[in-house]
């Protein structure tokens, strides 16, 4: 009886499952069979492993019947990174090293025919799953060590070839091998370079005091925001400055985001962990798979998930495909996205700030409030365009703001001193700290995370404010969902002011933010000079 | 003692808008009134009230100190005295305050009389919305660009937006305060007031050092209304101080104008009431204000007209034929005559006109709608 086991990890979405790869060598018809629901990329591993083993100077059991089992057998498995575990299991069964040498270790990596390793996507989530499953060591392609070392309490060994792995398992001196090329980064559909974004400052945004405040509230509480207005009004200008208002990610958030980009294969080389909130701006012509996630073959997280803990900016929102727009419902409400394909279901986190921008009409020149707009669209075109913002979507948006192009007197105001990104970020961070302290001991971090019932039960509004909110609910000014969202917004408004409990004033500001009504200048606090 | 010194002293002795004092000065002259008070003449109870302030009064030093701070004191008869203030002498008091000011303490580059020769007051709520502030700023800028001064009270909300609109347009602006002209009230507006003093002018009835009080704001409002040819109210709730200014404007026979807001908006309720009751004219932009507040006939707006459409100017007969024309498959003249209930000759006549306008076209001897009739 000769058999051996090597562990590896199979990914489903950004979650990893521990897989035992068992190899058995027995007498019988000479052949190699692979059982346990492998997909084609794993079935091909048979040929790759055989060549890699032979070309590394070891013997493939050519006179035996080789059975490789991937268990648990009910999970569907895919990915080329099974190669290393399969080769190790077969070599172990053949007695190349002691079977117990592989205990507690996960093997991750694709093999080339000459026995060298290749980088694979998703090393970070795999390493996290290995640690969670109680393994103490992972062996990964050496260029991806810095991803895996982010996981605490896990020994990470970077290797370049199968020979090095065998040497480690035998406790022999490790032979040298040429380094492994890092994974080619798939460029995300980022509209403009990230580096450019860091140079943008709120101090350069003239006028629109209430839109500036809306952006501040959205950033402080993680609320979804819709900016409407004619082209050139400054919607993109504002949206691109939102990431600058957000604090650095916490370690936990950074790991979660890095996992997503690791799976998506969009982790920039030389940047093992992403620490800044991402800004993703897919174009409206993007496909459903790229925005929401999915794709043929390997399921990849979409732009929604790649914007995790950051900003997903959807410019010209009504021009996105109808089914993409509708698929935003789930992430807008529950902060995750489920991609169901055949029998495979992947759920990716989608906790991100949606920032939608919409022109008033297809040509973008229509000003509902102005007599002398230059819009060339017909009323039917305008109606159809607006109709694409379906009620269920707009009802899930917390803050609505209409932006008019800055007026000459605002541009020339000699006393205007728009606040800088840093000044606003100080308040945003302060408000976020208050939220973190309030929600300590829960799974929630921001006001936008807290479900309605918990909010009403544990963090109510002042009695007076709640009565006013109820009145608006009964008179139809707010929907039920709307009143919950106003409740959350009122907390953020209060957190920005440093108020202990939201009262009438905060609720009124929150309602104005949600309905798009003009804001009371007092709410802006800095109404006077700048 | 000169008239100027006496008036300077009186501004320290009495509260602005004191009707009795205004009457005494009008009847006896400031010098006489001041002399009487110094000689402990009662003057109908005035002395008892101001006796405590009489001691230590030194108007000559006051004027010196003021001029060192760049503040001048303007009295009736000075070239800089704005003639429009005379209307206050005859106007009925409001809330028991009224009368022309005894003198004006002035800080700033512009001459008050010149600035106020063509001027409009833009006032409104301190608790304004971003809508109101935006409209007030745009309107003030438009008015000021025409050289018309924007008069307001330098308060939070609408007032500051109006001043800043005028400053942005590099136009004249006048801030009328309810405290000494050197004081920044509200304190957050120090930079704004300094800027107005540099580019426009800051005016007050109160001498340097005086603090604002509730009643002084009411008296101040009458000056805002009197110094301008018209008053525009932007966003005033039902109990706003801006409505007091509006009342003064009406009392002084100035043009009263109101900018409407959303009908659901509480900060616009007071304005809507002014318009609804017919006291204020509805204005939505600077041109409207200029037309109403300029001397009659000097700034007139044409009638607002919609765009010209192809169907404008068609006679009823042509319209009937046009309505009868099919879009795709043409029909004969006889068929059109039946549908439009017209004689064939009339149909032919109309078709010629419609064809020339591009509204009808003949294809293979039958008629249908032309390309110009796209809508």
B250 touches chain A (CB under 8 A): no
Q: Which residue has the tokens 């000079």?
A: A529
With contacts defined as CB-CB under 8 Å, which chain A residues touch B375?
378
Nearest CA among B284, B286, B277, B296 for reference residue B258: B284
Q: Which of residues 67-126 of A touch B (CB under 8 A)?
A: none
pLDDT tens-place string over residues A13-64 = 777 889 999 999 998 888 888 888 888 878 888 889 999 999 999 988 888 8
Q: How many cross-chain Cβ pairs, A to B, lie less than 8 Å apart?
A: 82
From chain B residues 106-135, the ones with a CB under 8 A of any chain A CB are 127-134
Are the beta carbons of B191 and A410 separated by less than 8 Å? no
Beta bridge partners of B363: B366
State the Cα–Cα distance between residues A187 and A313, nearest whole angstrom. 17
Q: How high is the mean pLDDT of chain A?
A: 87
Q: What is the pLDDT of residue A458?
A: 95
Radius of gyration (C-alpha) of chain B in whole angstroms: 30
Nearest by CB: A518 against B131, B137, B138: B131
Pick out chain A residues at pLDDT < 50: 1, 187-192, 526-530
Least CB–CB distance from B137: residue in A378, A409, A414: A409
**Nearest CB partner across the interface for A528, out of B129, B134, B160:** B160
- Identify the residue among B128, B132, B134, B288 best suited for mutation to test binding to A, counting A beta carbons within 10 A and taking the highest: B134
Residue B63 Cα distances to A421, A491, B78, angstroms: 47, 54, 15
What mean pLDDT is predicted for residues B125-147? 93
Chain A residues within 8 A of B190 when measuring between CB atoms:
none
Is A525 in CB contact (< 8 Å) with chain B?
A: no
Which of B156, B168, B264 shows the shortest C-beta gap to A409? Answer: B168
Decide if A518 and B138 are in contact by the 8 Å CB cutoff. no
Tell me whether A407 touches chain B (CB under 8 Å).
Answer: yes
How far apart CA A343 and CA A347 sit, in angstroms, is 13
pLDDT of residue A136: 94
Q: A522, B133: Cβ pair inside 8 Å?
A: no
Yes or no, beta carbons of A518 and B156 under 8 Å apart? no
pLDDT mean over B328-344: 89
Chain A residue whose CA is closest to B137: A409
Do A409 and B169 lie within an 8 Å CB cutoff? Answer: yes
Q: Which of A378, A414, A524 sits opposite B168 (nearest CB)?
A: A414
Mean pLDDT check: name the lowest of A341-345, B172-176, B330-334: A341-345
For residues A496 and A221, give the distance between their C-alpha atoms in angstroms, rounded to a whole number. 9
CA–CA distances in Å: residue B154 to residues B157, B201, B255: 9, 12, 21
- For range B148-174, the mean pLDDT: 96
* Residues in chain A closer than 8 A to B168 (CB atoms): 408-414
Answer yes or no: are the C-beta atoms of A337 and A310 closer than 8 Å: no
How far, in Å, CA of A308 to CA of A324, rounded?
A: 18
Euclidean distance between CA atoms B122 and B257, whole angstroms: 9
Of A407, A410, A519, nearest to B129 by CB-CB distance is: A519
Q: What is the pLDDT at residue B252? A: 96
Verify whether the Cβ–Cβ distance A528 to B156 is below 8 Å. yes
CA distance A470 to A462: 12
Question: What residues of A are in contact with residue B129 (Cβ under 8 Å)?
Answer: 517-521
Give the pLDDT of residue B100.
Answer: 95
* Torsional sign, CA B138, B141, B142, B143: positive
Burial, B72: exposed, middle or buried (Cβ in 10 Å; 0-12, 13-18, 19+)? middle
Q: Does A409 touch chain B (CB under 8 A)?
A: yes
Q: Is any Cβ of chain B less than 8 angstroms from the Cβ of A504?
A: no
Measure B19 CA to nearest chain A CA, in Å: 35
* Beta bridge partner(s), residue B176: B203
Residue of A nearest to B285 (CA): A370
Q: Point out the residue among B130, B138, B169 whose CB comes nearest to the CB of A518.
A: B130
Contact B137 A210 (CB under 8 A): no
| Cross-chain residue pair B141–A518, CB shorter than 8 Å | no
For CA atoms A347, A349, A354, A356, give the dihedral sign.
negative
Strands B104-108, B119-124: pairing is unpaired
**pLDDT for the residue numbered A217:** 96
Q: Are A373 and A40 in contact (CB under 8 A)?
A: no
What is the distance between the terminal CA atoms of chain B, rounded to a whole angstrom? 81
User: Residue A191's pLDDT is what?
Assistant: 39
- Contact list in A for residue B169 (CB cut-off 8 A) is 408-409, 412
Chain B window 162-201: which residues touch A at a Cβ cutoff of 8 Å?
164-165, 167-170, 186, 188-189, 191-192, 195
Residues in a beta bridge with B255:
B230
Mean pLDDT for B265-288 is 94
Report pLDDT for A179. Answer: 87
Per DSSP, A116 falls in state B
Structure tokens at B98: 């009224």
Report how many helices (DSSP H) and strands (DSSP E) chain B contains, helices first: 17, 11
- Interface contact flag, A521 B140, Cβ < 8 Å: no
> What is the pLDDT, as a whole number, of residue A369?
61
User: Average pLDDT in the B139-146 region?
Assistant: 96
Q: What is the pLDDT of residue A195?
A: 60
State the first-to-last Cα distance of chain A, in angstroms, to the nearest integer.
81
Which residues of chain B make contact with A372, given a CB cutoff of 8 A? none
Q: How far is CA A146 from CA A107, A180, A182, B307, in A?
A: 16, 14, 12, 67
Q: How far is A407 from chain B (nearest CA, A)?
A: 7
Residue B41 has pLDDT above 70, yes or no: yes
Q: Please answer yes or no on whether B140 and A517 come within 8 Å at the CB atom.
A: no
What local confidence, expressed as pLDDT, does residue B278 receive?
A: 95
- Partner B contacted by A519 (CB < 8 A): yes
CA A252 to chain B, closest CA, distance in angstroms equals 39
DSSP letters spanning B239-297: T-HHHHHHHHHHHTT-EEEEE---TT-GGGHHHHHHHHTTSSEE--SHHHHHHHHSSTT
Nearest by CB to B127, from A407, A411, A522: name it.
A522
Is A416 within 8 Å of chain B by CB? yes
CB contact, 8 Å: A29 with chain B? no
DSSP state of A459: S
A449 near A236, Cβ under 8 Å? Answer: no
**How high is the pLDDT of residue B80?**
96
Note the pLDDT tens digit of each residue in B81-113: 999 999 999 999 998 999 999 999 999 999 999
pLDDT of residue A196: 64
CB contact under 8 Å between A415 and B167, yes or no, is yes
CB contact under 8 A, B156 and A412: no
- The pLDDT value recorded for residue A338 is 87
User: B residues 297-326 near A, CB within 8 Å?
Assistant: none
């Amino acid at each position: 009886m000769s058999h051996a086991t090597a562990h590896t990890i199979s990914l489903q979405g950004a979650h990893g499952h521990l897989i035992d790869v068992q190899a058995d060598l027995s007498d019988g018809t000479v052949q190699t069979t692979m059982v346990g629901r492998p997909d084609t990329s794993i079935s091909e591993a048979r040929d790759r492993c055989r060549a890699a083993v032979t070309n590394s100077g070891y013997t493939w059991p050519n006179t035996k019947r080789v059975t490789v089992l991937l268990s648990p057998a009910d999970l569907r498995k895919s990915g080329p990174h099974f190669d290393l575990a399969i080769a190790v299991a077969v070599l172990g069964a053949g007695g190349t090293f002691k079977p117990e040498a592989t205990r507690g270790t996960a093997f991750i990596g694709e093999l080339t025919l000459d026995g060298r390793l290749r980088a694979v996507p998703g090393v970070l989530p795999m390493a996290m799953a290995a640690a969670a499953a109680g393994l103490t060591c992972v062996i990964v392609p050496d260029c991806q060590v810095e991803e895996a070392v982010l996981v605490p309490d896990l020994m990470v060994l970077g290797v370049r070839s199968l020979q090095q792995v065998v040497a480690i398992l035998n406790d022999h001196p490790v032979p040298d091998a040429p380094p492994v090329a890092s994974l080619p980064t798939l460029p995300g559909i980022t509209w403009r370079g990230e580096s450019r974004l860091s140079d943008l400052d709120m101090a350069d945004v003239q006028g629109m005091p209430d839109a500036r405040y809306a952006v501040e509230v959205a950033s402080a509480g993680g609320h979804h925001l819709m900016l409407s207005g004619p082209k050139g009004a400054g919607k993109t200008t504002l949206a691109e400055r939102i990431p600058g208002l957000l604090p650095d990610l916490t370690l936990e958030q950074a790991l979660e985001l890095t996992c997503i980009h690791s799976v998506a294969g969009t982790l920039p080389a030389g940047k093992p962990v992403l620490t800044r909130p991402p800004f993703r701006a897919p174009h409206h012509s993007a496909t459903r798979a790229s925005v929401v996630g999915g794709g043929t073959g390997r399921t990849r997280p979409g732009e929604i998930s790649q914007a995790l803990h950051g900003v997903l900016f959807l410019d010209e929102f009504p021009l996105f495909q109808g089914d993409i727009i509708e698929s935003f419902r789930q992430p807008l409400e529950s902060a995750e996205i489920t991609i169901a394909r055949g029998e495979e279901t992947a759920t990716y986190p989608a906790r991100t700030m949606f920032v939608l921008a919409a022109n008033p009409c297809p040509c973008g020149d229509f000003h509902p409030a102005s007599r002398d707009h230059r819009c060339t669209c017909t009323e039917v075109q305008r109606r159809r365009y607006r109709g694409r913002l379906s009620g269920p979507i707009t009802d899930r948006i917390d803050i609505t703001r209409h932006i008019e192009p800055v007026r000459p007197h605002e541009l020339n105001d000699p006393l205007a001193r728009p606040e800088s990104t840093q000044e606003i970020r100080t308040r945003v961070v302060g408000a976020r700290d208050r939220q973190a302290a309030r929600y300590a001991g829960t799974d929630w971090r921001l006001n936008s995370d807290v479900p309605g019932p918990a909010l009403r039960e544990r963090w109510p509004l002042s009695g007076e404010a709640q009565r006013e909110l109820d009145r608006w609910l009964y008179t139809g000014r707010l929907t039920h969902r709307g009143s919950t969202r106003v409740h959350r917004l009122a907390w953020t408004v209060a957190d920005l002011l440093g108020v202990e409990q939201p009262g009438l004033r905060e609720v009124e500001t929150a309602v104005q933010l949600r309905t798009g009504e003009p804001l009371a200048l007092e709410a802006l606090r800095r109404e006077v000079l700048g | 003692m000169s008239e100027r010194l006496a008036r300077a002293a009186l501004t320290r002795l009495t509260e602005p808008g004191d009707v009795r004092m205004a009457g005494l000065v009008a009847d006896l002259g400031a010098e006489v009134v001041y002399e009487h008070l110094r000689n402990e003449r009662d003057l109908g109870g005035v002395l008892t009230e101001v006796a405590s302030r009489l001691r230590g009064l030194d108007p000559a030093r006051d004027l010196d100190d003021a001029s060192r701070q760049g503040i001048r004191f303007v009295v009736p008869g000075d070239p800089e005295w704005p003639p429009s203030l005379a209307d206050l002498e005859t106007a009925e008091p409001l809330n028991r305050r009224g009368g022309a000011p005894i003198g004006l303490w002035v800080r700033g580059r512009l001459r008050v009389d010149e600035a106020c020769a063509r001027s409009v007051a833009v006032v409104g709520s301190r608790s304004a919305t971003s809508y109101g502030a935006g409209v007030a700023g745009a309107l003030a800028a438009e008015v000021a660009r025409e050289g018309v001064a924007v008069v307001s009270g330098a308060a939070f909300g609408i007032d500051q937006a109006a001043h800043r609109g005028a400053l942005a347009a590099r136009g004249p602006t006048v801030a009328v305060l309810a405290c000494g002209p050197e004081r920044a009230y509200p304190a957050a507006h120090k930079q704004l007031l300094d800027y107005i003093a540099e580019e426009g002018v800051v005016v007050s009835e109160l001498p340097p050092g005086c603090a604002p009080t509730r009643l002084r704001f009411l008296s101040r409002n009458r000056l805002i209304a009197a110094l301008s040819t018209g008053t525009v109210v932007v966003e005033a709730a039902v109990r706003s101080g801006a409505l007091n200014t509006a009342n003064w404007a009406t009392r002084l026979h100035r043009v009263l104008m109101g900018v409407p807001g959303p009908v659901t908006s509480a900060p616009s309720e007071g304005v809507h009431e002014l318009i609804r009751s017919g006291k204020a004219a509805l204005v939505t932009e600077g041109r409207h204000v200029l037309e109403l507040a300029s001397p009659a006939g000097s700034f007139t707006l044409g009638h607002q007209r919609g765009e010209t459409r192809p169907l404008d100017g068609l006679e009823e007969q042509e319209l009937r034929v046009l309505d009868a024309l099919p879009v795709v498959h043409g029909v004969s003249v006889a068929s059109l005559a039946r549908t439009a209930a017209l004689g064939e000759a009339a149909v032919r006549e109309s078709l010629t006109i419609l064809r020339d306008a591009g509204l009808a076209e003949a294809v293979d001897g039958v008629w249908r709608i032309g390309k110009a009739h796209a809508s």
